[in-house]
Amino acid sequence: MALSNTVETSALIGTLNTQIEQALNPRIPQNSRVALIDFPNHANVGDSAIWLGERAMLKKFKLKDTYNCDWRTYSISHMAQRITDDTIILIQGGGNVGDIWPEAQEFREAIITGFPNNSIVQLPQSISFSDASNLQRAKEVFENHPKFTLFIRDKPSLAFAKENFKCSIALCPDMAFQLGSLPRPNSPSKKVVWLLRTDKESKGFTEQAREMGLEPCDWLSETANFEKVNRVITGLWKPGQDIWRRLDFCTGPIYDLTAQARLTRGLQILSAGETVVTDRLHVHILCVLMGIPHVILDNSYGKVKNYFDTWMTGSSLVHVADSLPKAQELIDALIG
């Protein structure tokens, strides 16, 4: 990457981190007791990048993290024993406020309802509701908590939140930027990595890519050995959950190691390309952090383009396409 691009990217990352800190600090004062919950215990690398960015923020703010869990290992009685009323509950950021990923929303609502005396901060999210009854339920839960703050990471989601929820709402960049600039873990071995969604947020670009003779990939697969070890050490193996809860003082470090392994896998996939084409928001973000030129397409409900329009229009690393053929044209121009 040219020196001018390096300086530009470094400045952008620094600016976004300053904005994160300025947004969060009034709600999460330094030296506070916190509980960072909803660990993303799944293969999607982007959510692990968010988690590790949040952990970096905890260290920067000198916060005392007293409890961690994910939605499958959560126990209200156990959490109530581990936190006090002055503990600020921090809920993992991402793109799951809404009804596309119902388990995450149901867990969020359970936490907000179950801990009425604690300040609760929803770290930066995108929003997508398709069912009016789900939106109404979320509205009631959010508005009935006296100390709930909803951070939003793009302007369209912010407008939606302000129109539909009467609670504390603020704009904040995605927490993965707290990772700062990242080195490529390996040298490129191909011209382009086509990393395209294969889940329910896909617009069908993977199938189109195959029809065009391209070789798309995604980052949702893990080795069988990793999955087996993960089930035991993170409490997903139900016979071991009582032991896991008694040893919860080490849950945070285990989660961090798990997230780091997933992030490393993702960085290696992206670093294999001189350039990248993607419809995943955190492929876009990690490419910026590593200085990799890339083309973004949108996901099913617009969060990739919304995030770009809110924060990233000043980056010369990023190019926007509205179709796969257009993305290929842009890539051909980039690599010559």
List 186's β-bridge partners, or say none. none
User: What average pLDDT score do residues 254-259 get?
Assistant: 93
- Examine the pLDDT at 30 and tell me if it is beyond 70: yes
- Examine the pLDDT at 65 and tell me if it is beyond 70: yes
User: What average pLDDT score do residues 320-325 get?
Assistant: 97
> CATH 3.40.50 occupies which residues in the chain?
3-179
The confidence score (pLDDT) of residue 197 equals: 98
- Examine the pLDDT at 47 and tell me if it is beyond 80: yes
DSSP 166: -
Is residue 241 very low, low, confident or very high in pLDDT (cuts 50, 70, 90)? low
The confidence score (pLDDT) of residue 239 equals: 67
Q: 277 φ, ψ to 5°? A: -120, 135
Residue-wise pLDDT for 117-170, tens only, equals 999 999 999 999 999 999 999 999 999 999 999 999 999 999 999 999 999 999
**Rounded CA gap, 175 and 36, in Å?**
13
Query: Which DSSP helix (H) or strand (E) runs through 65?
Result: strand 64-65
The confidence score (pLDDT) of residue 249 equals: 65
User: What average pLDDT score do residues 25-41 get?
Assistant: 96
**Rounded CA gap, 79 and 70, in Å?**
11
Nearest Cα residue to 336 out of 293, 280, 291:
293
Domain 3-179: CATH class, spelled out: alpha beta
Is residue 247 very low, low, confident or very high in pLDDT (cuts 50, 70, 90)? low
Most confident listed range (2-16, 182-196, 215-229) = 182-196
Is residue 274 very low, low, confident or very high in pLDDT (cuts 50, 70, 90)? very high
Strand 148-152 and strand 120-128: pairing? parallel
Residue-wise pLDDT for 92-104, tens only, equals 999 999 999 999 9
- Examine the pLDDT at 251 and tell me if it is beyond 70: yes
* CA separation, residue 207 to residues 197, 212, 216, 222, 289 (Å): 10, 9, 9, 22, 28
List 170's β-bridge partners, or say none. 151
Is residue 231 very low, low, confident or very high in pLDDT (cuts 50, 70, 90)? confident
The confidence score (pLDDT) of residue 72 equals: 85
Q: Report the SS3 class of residue 11.
A: helix
- Examine the pLDDT at 244 and tell me if it is beyond 70: no
What is the token pair recorded at 13? 């990352």
- Examine the pLDDT at 245 and tell me if it is beyond 80: no
Q: How long is the chain?
A: 336
The confidence score (pLDDT) of residue 236 equals: 63
Q: Which regions of 87-215 does DSSP assign to beta strands (E)?
A: 88-91, 94-98, 120-128, 148-152, 168-171, 190-195
User: What average pLDDT score do residues 241-259 get?
Assistant: 78
